[in-house]
Structure 1
Amino acid sequence: MGFIWTLIVGAVIGAIAGALTSKGAAMGWISNILAGLIGSWLGELLLGNWGPSLAGMALIPSIIGAVILVVVVSWAMAKMKH
């Protein structure tokens, strides 16, 4: 059950990051989960493990990390199109 809870929290974090960057419409639910999980790892690596925590993820650093990830991936995808 813990794994499913982690996926749900990752999806919510990814959806928040997509909404904050206006890239949420282009992301599917699998992308939201990946952005949330990888962004959580990245945010906690860069900013530490502070603030409220849910499913083992510090929410504020996780959201910031996911936003960074979404912006970088969106930028890279736009560069590949041109």
Structure 2
Amino acid sequence: MQDYWERREEMWDDYFAAGDAIRERYASELEDLRQDDLAYEDEMEYRQKVKDSGFDSPEEYEAYWKHCLEAAEREHG
């Protein structure tokens, strides 16, 4: 059977473990948000480059490059 001090130590361990779990969860969520922001910034940068290249949409841009690659493969393949 546990004495008073052992129970007290166990209670403190549980208390601090719960705090650690909360901090870890929030740190993980914060990292997820940072990664989402980076992905969003990359997407917006890509879309701006597509627009600056004179295309109306990323799909149009990618279709153009697909056509160019297929033509090059036919010529040199």
Q: Which is richer in strand?
A: 1
Which has the greater radius of gyration? 2
Same fold (TM over 0.5): no
Higher relative helix content = 2
TM range (shorter): 0.3 to 0.5
TM-score for both structures, normalised by structure 1: 0.32
Greater relative CO, 1 or 2 (CA 8 Å, sep 6+): 1
